[in-house]
Amino acid sequence: MKKLIVITLVILYTSVSFSQGSAGTNAKFEYRSLIDLPSAGVLEKGYVGVALDVLPAGTVIPKIEVGVFDNFSFGISYGGSNIIGTGSISWYELPGVNLKFRIVDETAGYPAVTLGFDSQGKGIFNKEVNRFDIKSPGFFAAVAKNFELLGYFSIHGVVNYSLERDDNDKDLNLGIGVEKTIGGKISLVAEYDFAINDNNKVSFGDGNGYLNMGVRWTVGDGFTLGVDLRDLLSNKKFNSNRADRGIFVEYVKAIF
CA 147-247-167 angle, 5° bins? 90
pTM of the model: 0.89
Per mean pLDDT, which range of 1-15, 25-39, 99-113, 172-186 is the poorest? Answer: 1-15
CA distance 9 to 245: 20
**Is CATH 2.40.160.40 the classification given to domain 3-254?**
yes
C-alpha dist (Å) from residue 195 to 123, 150, 169, 217:
16, 32, 10, 28
In DSSP terms, 21 is beta-bridged to none
Tell me whether strands 112-118 and 138-148 are parallel, antiparallel or unpaired.
antiparallel
**CB distance 52 to 223 below 8 Å:** no
Q: SS3 for 4?
A: helix
With a cut of 50, say whether residue 235 has pLDDT above it.
Answer: yes
**pLDDT digit string, tens, across residues 13-30:** 444 333 345 788 988 888
- Where do runs of H (alpha helix) occur along 154-254? none
CA distance 112 to 107: 8
Amino acid at the residue 230: R
CA distance 58 to 176: 28
Residue extents of the structural domains in the chain:
3-254
With a cut of 80, say whether residue 4 has pLDDT above it.
Answer: no
